[in-house]
Amino acid sequence: MSSTDVMDRAAQTMHLLDYRNGAELKQLPTRNGFGEGLIEAGNRNANVLAICADLAESTRMEGFKKAHPAQYLEIGVAEQMLVAMAGGLAATGKVPWIASYAMFNPGRSWEQVRTIMALNETNVKIAGAHAGVSVGPDGATHQAIEDIAIMRVIPHMMVVVPCDSVQTKKATLALSETFGPAYLRFAREKSAIVTTEETPFEIGKAQTFRDGNDVAIVACGILVYNALIAADQLASEGINCRVVNNHTVKPMDAPAITQAAQECGAIVTVEEHQVHAGMGSRVAEILAESHPVPIEFVGVRDQFGQSGEPTELIEHYGMGTDAIKAAARRALKRKR
């Protein structure tokens, strides 16, 4: 490990809020960060547009509508048209953000996303709200737990899954200033804020939020917090876990993933998504080519969601801190 790597990790960890020993952290929905970031993106660039499929309040486009009425369009419940309209506007130099629940966009509009957005390499950005089982009582029809899989397979598509509302705001701004089709995935329910305004963020650059050399827990989205809590509790057992915030699923930071495997010798992936073809599958693909090690996958296992309280569903589908700890112990055992 180079001295530069050590300093980079120290800088990332230094700018985290204190989550240890039962510390109470502020909680906000990641969608709030999207709304704040979109308003600022509109302030910076008059070509940034917001186009919504009748869910302005839920997706947090409502604030942009009020701040930039001339840059906002409402098309109603027509997700395929949402993508088609955005593609045309992008061709004129606009930077359209299109928003709906992730189950409907990209879920319902996937063919338009593939052909109009990605095949033509348009500068359209999808805001996929209410992703994961933590959408709660809305149930299986509204719980997008396959969206990372269907988006990461599309050529040219960026896929970003930030860990909290602060990082979601940064990701919104970064994607607004990066040319190309992109998918930003975020949730409805409140979740812990672990980063600060000073925490570094760069598309395609994974972050080490906790150092350790026994097992590397590679997580994305709101479950990064669960990974941090699990790692903190495992430390009392003498198991020192590295926690990597793998916020960019595509293009994934292959060097950081490979380095974690080389230095820890075992990996646990954690995502609020099907384990099949999700973020963890991409981690496995990278390591199969570069540095194979034992991998355990935490996520939904070939099931649909159901109605329930968000925390209840996270536990039911095996994505809580106890499940992460169990996976880390299994990975360590396989390593040994």
Residue carrying structure tokens 């039911």: 316
Catalytic residue set: 79
Between CA 28 and CA 304 the distance in angstroms is 26
Closest-CA residue to 241 (of 274, 208, 286, 192): 208
130 three-class SS: coil
Between CA 325 and CA 239 the distance in angstroms is 10
Asked if omega into 200 is within 30° of 0 (cis), the reply is no
Report the relative pairing of strands 182-185 and 125-129 from DSSP bridges: parallel
Between CA 310 and CA 31 the distance in angstroms is 15
Structure-block tokens of residue 253: 């930071």
Between CA 38 and CA 162 the distance in angstroms is 15
29 three-class SS: strand
Going by the DSSP 8-state scheme, the letter that residue 195 receives in this structure is: B
Q: Which helix (H) or strand (E) holds 249?
A: strand 248-250
Between CA 211 and CA 323 the distance in angstroms is 20
Cβ atoms of 236 and 185 within 8 Å: the answer is: no
In one letter, which amino acid is 85? M
What is the length of the chain? 336
End-to-end C-alpha distance for the chain, whole angstroms: 22
Closest-CA residue to 240 (of 273, 277, 265): 265
In one letter, which amino acid is 60? R
